[in-house]
Structure 1
Amino acid sequence: MKRGSLILALLLIGVPAWAHKPSDSYLSITVQDDRIEGRWDIALRDLDLALGLDTDDDGSMTWGEVRAKHQDIAAYALSRLTLRSGGVVCPSTATEHLIDDHTDGTYGVLRFTAVCAEAISELTADYRLLFDLDAQHKGLLRLRQSASTQAAIFSSESPIQRFTIGQSSRWRQIRQYAREGMWHIWTGYDHLLFLLALLLPSVLTRDGTGWKAISGFQAALWDVVGIVTAFTAAHSITLTLAALGLIEVPSRLVESVIALSVAVAALANLYPRLLSRRWLVAFGFGLVHGFGFAGALSDLGLPQGSLLLSLVSFNAGVELGQLACVGLVIPPAFLLRHSWSYPRLILVPGSYVIAAISLIWFLERAFDLRLGIL
């Protein structure tokens, strides 16, 4: 039991320690005959990590500092993207540098052109940006050709993607968006901690003297089912409405309330009288988390010809990611529920840690602060 307690405690403490957003870049290419027109949005913080844009080390990057590195940015980025048609490399040339703001910061925009030896019928993209500096980095691709749009996700595990121009694979699309949904849960630390804060007390009940172990697995199971079902139903509603453009909420407000929801869920474990129905908390704040999921989905881009398929696939991936988290937490928690160490060393300290982390997130997001703690 002591070993199990230690493992679960390390898992709980380790999750907040990962509290950084994995970097993404956004690559959009349009294919016409033998030419490729591309736009590549790369976060300035990532370019600074790779190239040292902040030359005066004052913590901010000016347009002058970025402009002075235009040639270096183009050389660095284009050397890490190889486009081939018929097995032959299509040389790429930078044509313009811009700046754009995304929800998570400022991005450098590189426009480029690639010319192939003949009309493109099959295209292979080999993407290697930042993988040597951040193994979690992803490249999100949208490929357009006439009325057809395809999507792909590059990662260190899958850096090469192949496309048949003018054809799109529904199975490929389902797989890509479902994988992104799972990945968003596993790396969306605020969503993960919210779910974790709600799940930890599921194997316990509280009376006038304190926390007590539940009598059987069925009681814990129904509690978990209620929480996950409420959270799923709620975020599915707002994810769908926001992804289809029917409701729009400022991202700063969404991210701030998400952080606050994590704190409320954690504090409810410490002061149970605050909230008696955790499934209701899961539903209420799940509505807000759905807007957060929609933000990630909008970054990927929804193919206009298959909106519903992409939306359902992404949502299914989110649910699979949640179930994996449930399967990781509940079995060891159930086995440890009779141990004195579970409420004293895991539930209570873990809830304090989650509450502290999420309140820091809230202050940073709501007031645009950089506290530098996490």
Structure 2
Amino acid sequence: MSSLNTFILKLLLLGVMSTAGLAITAPRGLSHELVPTIADMTVLDAQSVVLDFRINLEAFLAGVDLDAAQNTDDDDAGEAYTTLRGLGASELRARVPQLVDLWNQARLGEADGALVFGITRVEVPEGLSEELPRISLLTLTALLPEGARNMTLNWPDGSGALVLRQQGVDAPFTGYLAGGETSPPIAFAGGGAQSLSEAFFGYIPVGFDHILPKGLDHILFVLGLFFLSARVRPLVWQVSAFTLAHTVTLALGALGVVSINPALVEPLIAASIVFVAIENVFASGLNPWRPVVIFCFGLLHGLGFASVLGDFGLPEGQFVPALIGFNVGVELGQLTVIAIAFACVGWFARKEWYRARIAVPASCAIAAVGAYWFVERVFL
């Protein structure tokens, strides 16, 4: 093997091992998973607009970059977040005006000019363990200029995902905004519901985002499939079984037909990562029963995706196209992971040393991460 190839392999394995190390050494007590913000918009007698937020106030006040971070350990502001998470409800409420001032300066809402929002209500849950994220209720109200018929919402950079839902009208607007994006004009009288195609294409990036970059557990599972064999036929069998299975439970979970506690699903997802990775070490090819096992694991992963959609909500009038769009985004994310893996190591796949020097060590690192996650999700 050439010195260049050896150097590339060392870099690859160093990256895999570093990922495992970061996952294993992350302090559980400081880690809080971040969820999208949800805002319900209501217009009262054409005179004022009300925004009701379900929001992680600590993340916004600490300055966590919600566009990039999946949990508070992913951001330099994690320590500030932990400090705020330890505050009592009254202490946290006292800090909310500074957030609203920043939003007003950023022209959060515009209707024939910038709207000035004031705080109507702040409800901060009490009695939760500090190990858990705290989702508060924040209500803002702004007076509307006379004759205003619509408004746009400017979601600031770094604010992460926002699900914006119009209330109290026919054919209400429902939209998904990433940090730094602006909504289309939302008519106060309603009628701004997304078309079927808009819902479909709008939810593709949502599904993709929950694979790349945020779905590390799903990424590792797909890589576990890849490292069994980089040949196309075994990979197609495995990915097809996985895709079919998680499509079924994603649909059933999103429809509310099937519901399983995430406290059970998440450890089992971690266990599935361990299984496929360890089997890669002992099996050099596709066993006849492996697609069946992967199908069963795919059912679990579909339930995990369904919990993501539960956080976002799906627009009622466009449920089916939005669900399909999300699933297409997930598949595109998985195919991108496989394409990146092929680009990095696929050209070594026919070498005699590929399995011993790439596939087995990488699978061991993946198994180590999955095993740590299983222990963390069950016992810590």
Q: Aligning the two structures, in what range does the TM-score lie when normalised by the shorter sequence?
A: 0.7 to 0.9
2:254 is equivalent to residue 236 of structure 1 = no
1:49 to 59, 62, 82: 62
Aligned runs of 1:231-310 on 2, under 5 Å? 231-272=242-283, 276=287, 277-310=289-322
1:76 to 91, 99, 110: 99
Paired positions, count: 344
Q: Which amino acid aligns with 2:199?
A: Q
Counterpart Cα distance in 2 of 1:13 and 1:161: 41
Relative to structure 1, the CA distance from residue 105 to residue 126 in structure 2 (aligned partners, 3 Å threshold; closer, same or farther) is: same
- Deviation of 1:10 after TM superposition, in Å, equals 5.2
Q: 1:151-193: CA deviations, max 9, x gaps?
A: 333334x432223322133243222211000000111111111
Counterpart Cα distance in 2 of 1:119 and 1:16: 58
Relative to structure 1, the CA distance from residue 17 to residue 78 in structure 2 (aligned partners, 3 Å threshold; closer, same or farther) is: farther
Relative to structure 1, the CA distance from residue 174 to residue 17 in structure 2 (aligned partners, 3 Å threshold; closer, same or farther) is: farther
Counterpart Cα distance in 1 of 2:21 and 2:146: 50
Counterpart Cα distance in 2 of 1:9 and 1:305: 47
Aligned runs of 1:1-374 on 2, under 5 Å? 1-2=5-6, 4-6=8-10, 8-9=12-13, 12-13=16-17, 16=20, 23-32=34-43, 33-43=46-56, 46-47=59-60, 49-50=62-63, 61-62=86-87, 64=88, 66-77=89-100, 79-80=102-103, 82-99=107-124, 105-118=133-146, 120-128=148-156, 130=158, 137-156=160-179, 158-165=180-187, 166=190, 167-170=192-195, 171-186=197-212, 187-203=214-230, 220-272=231-283, 276=287, 277-339=289-351, 342-367=354-379, 369=380
Q: Which moved more, 1:166-175 or 1:45-54?
A: 45-54
Is contact 1:153-1:176 (8 Å) kept? yes
Counterpart Cα distance in 2 of 1:246 and 1:72: 41
- Deviation of 1:36 after TM superposition, in Å, equals 2.0
- Deviation of 1:335 after TM superposition, in Å, equals 1.1
Relative to structure 1, the CA distance from residue 18 to residue 140 in structure 2 (aligned partners, 3 Å threshold; closer, same or farther) is: farther
Is contact 2:207-2:328 (8 Å) kept? yes
- Deviation of 1:346 after TM superposition, in Å, equals 2.5
Is contact 2:84-2:92 (8 Å) kept? no
Counterpart Cα distance in 2 of 1:336 and 1:324: 19
Q: Which amino acid aligns with 1:5?
A: L
The residue aligned with 1:214 is none
TM-align CA RMSD: 3.3
The residue aligned with 2:28 is none
- Deviation of 1:107 after TM superposition, in Å, equals 1.5
Normalised by the size of structure 2, how large is the TM-score? 0.79
Structure 1 SS opposite 2:185: strand
Structure 1 unmatched runs, 5+ = 132-136, 204-219, 370-374
Counterpart Cα distance in 2 of 1:14 and 1:317: 28
Q: Which amino acid aligns with 2:280?
A: N
Relative to structure 1, the CA distance from residue 50 to residue 351 in structure 2 (aligned partners, 3 Å threshold; closer, same or farther) is: same
- Deviation of 1:124 after TM superposition, in Å, equals 1.5
Structure 1 SS opposite 2:135: strand
Counterpart Cα distance in 1 of 2:232 and 2:336: 15
Counterpart Cα distance in 2 of 1:128 and 1:272: 50
Counterpart Cα distance in 2 of 1:21 and 1:193: 21
Structure 2 unmatched runs, 5+ = 24-30, 65-76
Sequence identity (%): 27
